[in-house]
Homo-oligomer: A and B are copies of this chain.
Amino acid sequence: MTKRKNSQDTKTETPGRFSRRRLLATAGGAGAAGLAAGAATGAAASRRDDGDGTPGAGADVALTTLGGTAVPFHGRHQPGITTPVQARGHLAAFDLAPGAGRREAAELLRRWSALAAELMAGRGPGGEEDLAIARDAGPASLTVTFGFGRGFFDATGLTAARPLALDPLPEFSADRLDPERSEGHLWVQIGADDALVAFNALRALQRSAARDGTAAVRWQMSGFNRSPGATARPMTTRNLMGQVDGTNNPQPSEPDFERRIFVPGDGDPAWMRNGSYLVFRRIRMLLDDWEGRSLADQERIIGRRKADGAPLTGGGETTPVDLAATGADGRPVIAANAHVRVTAPESNGGAAMLRRPFSYHDGIRSDGAPDAGLLFLAWQADPLTGFVPVQRKLDRGDALSPFLRHEASGLFAVPGGAPEGGYVGQELLEG
């Protein structure tokens, strides 16, 4: 294991037992708009130093960069949107109990926000119970993100405050949606670079929701991405079809990034300022069919080279796709129904969404096929100019669609970040 020296508090120690067991929680990287993975701020906090010196007696050990990286909970936007994707993720939807209304929901969001802030800093607010499985590790880039589904507003008597953007998504012809694994009153996204840290947060948030019978899990799914350190490829990941994914994502450095992804400061409704709308789709991949196709077929279907994600019209991964290019036979190099053409912003009135997915793999199905694919998560200021036009186009003629099954769906309003002392959704719930 390696350690990064980025603070005078950080000591390089021999892996193994430590003579001074000191847990170093390094506040790192991903701030409000921070996509710079692992760009530590240099602020390090020495959490505990029991110094009893008994070999092997303590659970507190020096952390490496992976474990010690903390993402701040408070800020203009919620974490987990522009934060680099983590190795492990959980999605959970909760429904309020029949007796729970606006007051109970406000109490839950206040509890949840306090809990998320503490866990993301590597602390357990309720003591042993809240930190049980995450002990020994640091926050490991834990993020917790909260959203509200369409049903939340009726359940809490806040129907008038429901954003138009939460109107149901259109039905697409290829949808095979399971309502029991779709939508929900409340939505929670958890990400961390350590699976035990992520699971611990899920359990702690679930216990908090169950307190006083406020809310119960409606559905819950888990996913993963590449481990930090497995590759030096900086931004993009691969999906389970082996394709480089996320190349064309809007970048925070682009001038219109903020207005495309986040609801503007003068946006409507006011409580959604600096928030974003999340479209979730559980997309199963028909991997047996896909892997049965030749590499050339796969690349024609996508419009990019599988090895490096470069467009078939040449260059590298980030080279713009030349949709007008024709081959020696006079036909377009990128086929009319190639996935990269159908989803191109040029083909969709400039529509853009920030895709931040996790892959999932839930064993095998009764038909022997893998139950695996993508937990597609797309962020946008307005689904009607983000996800909807692209999905409409995909529905009408995308070469990739025959290999995909949309099995679950969700649309959630994700408010802006909470300030110190506040909680997510406060303006809605106390407005």
Q: How far is the CB of A142 from chain B (nearest CB, A)?
A: 11
- A1 interfacial by beta-carbon distance below 8 Å: yes
**A132 and chain B: residue at smallest CB distance:** B242
Find residues 208-263 in chain A having any chain B CB closer than 8 Å to their own CB: 216-217, 219-222, 224-234, 237-238, 240-242, 244
- A274 interfacial by beta-carbon distance below 8 Å: no
Q: Of the 9-residue stretches A58-66, A182-190, A324-332, A392-400, which lies at the interface with chain B?
A: A58-66
Give the size range of A's interface with the partner.
35 or more
Residues of A with Cβ closer than 8 Å to B? 1-4, 13, 15-18, 37-38, 54-59, 61-67, 87-88, 128-129, 132-133, 135-138, 140, 193-197, 199, 203, 207, 216-217, 219-222, 224-234, 237-238, 240-242, 244, 287, 291, 295, 306-310, 315-319, 359, 361-364, 368, 370, 372
**A224 and chain B: residue at smallest CB distance:** B195
Bound form: Cα–Cα A411–B182 in Å: 39
Which 5 pairs between the two chains have the least Cβ-Cβ distance?
A132-B242, A56-B316, A66-B229, A57-B316, A194-B230
Q: How many copies of this chain does one complex carry?
A: 2
Given known contacts A203-B287, A318-B56, A1 and B195 CB-to-CB distance under 8 angstroms: no
Q: Which interface residue of A37, A54, A59, A310 has the most chain B CB atoms within 10 A? A: A59
22 A–B contacts, CB within 8 A, in A order: A1-B38, A2-B64, A2-B65, A2-B229, A56-B308, A56-B310, A61-B231, A61-B232, A64-B232, A66-B229, A128-B295, A132-B291, A135-B238, A135-B307, A136-B231, A136-B238, A140-B230, A194-B231, A195-B225, A196-B224, A196-B226, A207-B291
